[in-house]
Amino acid sequence: MTSEKVSIQKNPSLDLFFFLIVYFCVQDFVGALLYTNFNLPKVFFYFHLFFGEIILFSLFCICIIRTGFKVYKGLFSLIISSILVMVYYFAISSNRFSFGTLMDLRCLLLPVVLVYLACHLIDTEQKRREFFCFFIFLSFGLALFGIFETLFIPSKFWFNYANMSLYLNQIKGYYADYPRLGISGAAMGRVGYGQFFPRRLTSTFGDPFGYAIGISVSIIIFLHLSLRKRKIHYILGCLVTYLALLLTFTRSGYILFAVVFFIFWLLVLNEKQKIFSMFLSMLFFPFIYNFLGHFILITRNELQTNSAHSRDFISFYTSVIQSGEYWIGMGVGQVGNVESGYTYLMTQLGIWGLILFLVFIFSCIRIIYRKAKQKEKSSEFVSLKCINVIALGILIATLILMNFYSYPFGLTTYMINWIIVGIALRIPETQYNILSR
């Protein structure tokens, strides 16, 4: 086996980007620890919340200056929609500038910031290797901590030492139940989840949704490395991250994982691996049959009632689109907490904002799907085909998840996903052998 020397060059911008990813993943947990144990002024915690975002947007501006705002295929519509966001707020929206409008403005700009940064900071084989090595270590650590805190850390610990409910209520302004338990209301789950497990896994995110949607793609990377490298630590990583995802009891996380896994199964696995995976599924299915059946029943009953999920999902395809009331848009920061990402987007930016976002998604799908079908020349740590397949699954799952909530505009929730999409968009065509038609 020949050893290949790789020249490692220091890249402060990329190192800072990695630091920010870790910072956003542990931000709420650290904030809850500090707020519960130290009598620090509230202004410190507000600085703590915006510290990472100020650095992130500053890094984005530096990247633009260095690259001359170079736009790649698939990014153009996202750039245009982001410009529309800025113009709409400052020129058209009747809203008074406030903390709420600033937060919504930041959310709507996040996809272009993360995709653009990933395109320009992770643009070589060495940097892709650095990112995915960093990501699997991070995801494995977060999964281990999540499993440990769910199985072994009692609620008393959270109440005494890291009162997440109090922190979310008094600092972030989020409504969080169960202040006496010290955990967020989302960690307890919906009615009926308690018969599976007392509480849902949140890891350092403070809620199960951020963990499940933000880190679930790591399971596919571990699976890919397990099949490719055949090493026990990758198999262990796959099992640990998969168990962590199951313990979140988060349907959106399951949907994202299922879509990415199906495309991975379809485009990456060979015939023998497909047959073997189907055989394994048949063996394990009896063990999870009762859990799946009951979980689906709870979901169906919830959607049949007048819940926020069913109400907002239906309203987008009826009143929001058909009435024409929101075609122009109400302005940034004008919509409250709605259980529909499409409603969240359209009520602020109108029909053109919605169309431009969809144009971005479908143009990225077209570009990445073409790459995913090709045979790559290089032999990277995580194969280019796997990266493209994960990005393709993320984009398709985004179209589905937008029916339920505005997850794609959440920083910690969708951060890793947009980064992987940016990496896939930047991979040059020269890395592939074009298949003959």
pLDDT digits (tens, 9 = 90+) for 79-131: 777 777 777 766 666 555 666 677 777 888 899 899 999 999 998 999 999 99
Residue 257, pLDDT above cutoff 60:
yes
Q: Quote the pLDDT of residue 435.
A: 44
Does the structure show a pLDDT above 80 at 430? Answer: no
pLDDT in tens, 327-377: 777 766 656 667 788 888 888 778 888 888 898 899 999 999 998 888 777
Encode pLDDT of 222-231 as tens digits: 999 998 888 9
pTM of this structure: 0.90
Query: Where are the domains positioned within the chain?
Result: 13-268+306-428
Q: How many residues does the chain have?
A: 437
**pLDDT-based confidence at 436, cuts 50/70/90?**
very low
Q: Which residue, among 245, 244, 30, 248, has the nearest Cα to 144 in the 3D structure?
A: 244
* 391-418 residues labelled b (16+ CB within 10 A) or e (exposed): bbbbbbbbbebbbbbbbbbbbbbbbbbb
Q: Is the separation of the CB atoms in 200 and 248 below 8 Å?
A: yes
* Residue 279, number of CB atoms within 10 A of its CB: 10
CB 408 within 8 A of CB 401: yes
Cα–Cα dist 10/18, whole Å: 13
Per-residue pLDDT, 197: 79
| Range with lowest mean pLDDT among 204-208, 297-301, 363-367, 381-385 | 297-301
pLDDT of residue 22: 96
pLDDT at 3 over 70: no
Which pLDDT does position 308 carry in this prediction?
67
Mean pLDDT of all residues belonging to the chain: 83
Confidence of residue 5 (pLDDT cuts 50, 70, 90): very low
pLDDT above 90 covers what percent of the chain? Answer: 42
**Mean pLDDT calculated for residue range 280-303:** 71
Q: Inform me whether the pLDDT recorded for 164 exceeds 80.
A: yes
Beta-carbon contacts of residue 344 (< 8 Å; ≥ 6 apart) = 335, 338, 406, 409
